[in-house]
Amino acid sequence: MRFLHLSDLHIGKRVNEYSMTEDQRFILRQILGLAEDTRPDAVLIAGDLYDRSVPPGEAVGLLDDFLTELCARGVPVFAVSGNHDSPERLEFGSRIMRKNGVVLAGAFRGRPD
């Protein structure tokens, strides 16, 4: 099996009041190209999808676009929350997303799903 492993995307990060969103959009497009070229069996995202527990709307939209593009390519996604993510917010819509190949695991509840 071939996995594309990502972590610490920190989508929505600001550095000295400078938004990193456009830089992150560029990098995520490159990752989509890499997924297209390498055709992984799944993408694993190991935490810190967002830079803060309540991400700005543009960060949520950017992650949504990224996950949607991976789904359109038929690449399953498995993601877990990190210390910068809100587990509950990250799991929003997870039951619907799971049906489309995106598994978002926020808080560990003592059993695997």
Task: Tell me which residues are annotated as active site.
Answer: 84
Helices (H), 1-113: 21-38, 57-72, 87-90, 94-98
Count Cβ atoms below 10 Å from residue 28 Cβ, excluding itself: 20
Asked whether the beta carbons of 106 and 88 are under 8 A apart, the reply is yes
Q: How many residues does the chain have?
A: 113
Indicate the Cα dihedral angle 106, 108, 112, 113, nearest 10°. -40
